[in-house]
Structure 1
Amino acid sequence: MPSDPSNPYLLDKRKTRLGFERAANTYDANAVLQREVGSRLLERLDLIKMQPATVLDLGCGTGAVSEHLLKRYKKARIIGIDLALNMAQKTCQRGGWFRKPRAVCADAARLPFQPQCADMLVSNLMLQWCNDLPAVFSEFAQALKPEGLLMFSTFGPDTLKELRASWGRVDGYTHASRFTDMHDVGDALLQAGFRDPVVDMEIITLTYADVRGLLRDLKGIGANNATYGRNHGLTGKARLQAFLQAYEYFRLEDGHYPATYEVVYGHAWASKLLPSKLPEKFIPIMRSQP
């Protein structure tokens, strides 16, 4: 989704970053879904027969994926990248005393590394925070060595459909991001020059004893509403109560409340061909750390 100031679903990057900065200390206690999806994503590496020298963990959060990659690829450099400095610092604390991941506070859409710096890029539930997916994939393609691997997960359009429908009965503001369809993700990969893309999806439904539990989880991981079409004032008790009442429509027979997540998984390979000329003024990867 390209940058369009008139688009209410465009994400405010500053608001996104601040949400994750504030949630660094509460993220792990609330990131049940993120851990599960990350585990399922990493299981797919069992089918990939390669031993990368350098792996970038894009949107590393507190470093759970980076720590797994350290154990899987014992001779590789693992470098996390996150928009929030506090998250990147948490990643640096992972691992043992003898080996830890590095981490860089940076925007995944503008990686501060030299081209062809990595053999593998892994990204767990970060891409949904990017406004222009084809541009981000193009940045990833530049970062990969020829025949390097990109493996990722993100959210599809049915994610949080109950929350969006419930708020839709209350007001006309945007209350959640608009997520990219699986087929459009595949098209964006091809547009960026990746080859042999494979994209699939699954539905994961979390249930809560009350809707406020869902809201607490979203706040605890830093997943605030960063759309430009959001209400920039206070929500107010009356509107919140109206939202909670609207969510009653989705209550299950056992009394719990569902939160649907459409999880999109994908991988693709960088081109076999070297570009004829590399861009200049990139930071060497060995010098990029907090």
Structure 2
Amino acid sequence: MPTKNIIPCYKQEVAKSFNKAASTYDDFSQFQDNVLTNLKGMCPEGDFKLSLDLGCGTGNAANFLSAFSHRLVSLDLSLNMLQKSQQKSPSSFVVCGDAEALPFQNGCFDFIFSSLSIQWCENLNSIGREVERVLQSNGDFLVSTLSQDSMPEIAHCWLQIDGHTHINHYPSYDELIAQISCAGLVPQQIVCEPMTMWFDSPKDAIDSLKKVGASVLVEEDERQIVTPAAWRAFLGEYEKLRTEKGIPLTYQLVYLHLKKI
């Protein structure tokens, strides 16, 4: 993730966006559900005493994680998301907190799971350090996130309109691996692959971001004022990308299984 020109009060903006989207998230989360399914398929076998769902959202992984965890803690930056999560999994213990400053003791978890949340952190090095700190020796960290060249369709279309991409810029594959494993977490399995979602209209593609809270821009120079005329022009450009499958929106995904040795 970039470390310069970060918007002021960034974490508050992220929390606000996801709080607002909590009521619509599950209706627009097909991409997130697909990624979650893939990440579940990489889950190590085990009977874990205490697991952490890091960036739990509305709790769609809770039942899966609870099946092999004696206790499950669900953490998110958004209170509204946590309320939804608690409704789905009343037995889990919910905590409102920041993944870059985990409010837990050293070595208390033997399994940490995180699907599509760490890309909202300002510093992946701090994620690696915090996960390593709260994991027990031989503990597992299973995570999915986005890497460079995600959402190229949106970037391309906005560049034609005003010269800005209007998207977040994610680290390259190599940068991501180096940053998140810097604390000594050892990769056990890595999968890097694209996923293209298809939509009936450009607006539907954008709603798939806005309605799940994923529309906060990290860098100030990408936060441009969008006039009605510019928005119409953008939708027109995006429409040009239509194929027989519909309007594409492509993500570059990295799935990681790391272990604290």
The TM-score by the shorter chain falls in which range?
over 0.9
Gapped regions of structure 1 (runs ≥ 5): 272-290
Deviation of 1:250 (Å): 1.7
Aligned to 1:51: 47
Matches within 5 A, 1:156-167: 156-167=147-158
Q: Is the aligned partner of 1:35 residue 2:33? A: yes
TM-score by length of 2: 0.93
Matches within 5 A, 1:55-70: 55-70=51-66
1:79 to 73, 76, 79: 73
Aligned to 2:178: 187
CA contact (8 A) 1:170 1:239 kept: yes
Q: Which has the greater radius of gyration? A: 1
Q: For residues 129 and 9 of structure 2, what CA distance do their matches in structure 1 show?
A: 19
CA contact (8 A) 2:109 2:134 kept: yes
- Following TM superposition, the consecutive aligned residue runs of length 4 or more in structure 1 with deviations greater than 6 angstroms are none
Q: For residues 85 and 173 of structure 1, what CA distance do their matches in structure 2 show?
A: 32
Q: For residues 248 and 30 of structure 1, what CA distance do their matches in structure 2 show?
A: 20
Compared with structure 1, are the counterparts of its residues 189 and 222 closer, same or farther at alpha carbon in structure 2 (3 Å cutoff)? closer
More strand by share: 2
Aligned to 1:147: 138
Could you say what secondary structure the match of 2:208 adopts? helix
Could you say what secondary structure the match of 2:204 adopts? helix
| 1:120 alignment partner AA | F
TM-score by length of 1: 0.84
Aligned to 1:231: 223
Deviation of 1:3 (Å): 3.2
Gapped regions of structure 2 (runs ≥ 5): none
CA contact (8 A) 1:128 1:180 kept: no
Compared with structure 1, are the counterparts of its residues 222 and 262 closer, same or farther at alpha carbon in structure 2 (3 Å cutoff)? same
Deviates more, 1:115-124 or 1:193-202: 193-202
Q: For residues 270 and 121 of structure 1, what CA distance do their matches in structure 2 show?
A: 11
Deviation of 1:7 (Å): 5.7
Could you say what secondary structure the match of 1:195 adopts? strand
Aligned to 2:3: 3
The percent of aligned pairs where both chains have the same amino acid is 30
Deviation of 1:165 (Å): 1.0
Could you say what secondary structure the match of 1:15 adopts? helix
Q: What root-mean-square deviation, in Å, do the aligned CA atoms of Structure 1 and Structure 2 show? A: 1.9
| 2:17 alignment partner AA | G
Aligned length: 260
1:121 to 100, 112, 137: 112
Q: Is the aligned partner of 1:91 residue 2:91? A: no
Aligned to 2:251: 261
Could you say what secondary structure the match of 1:163 adopts? helix
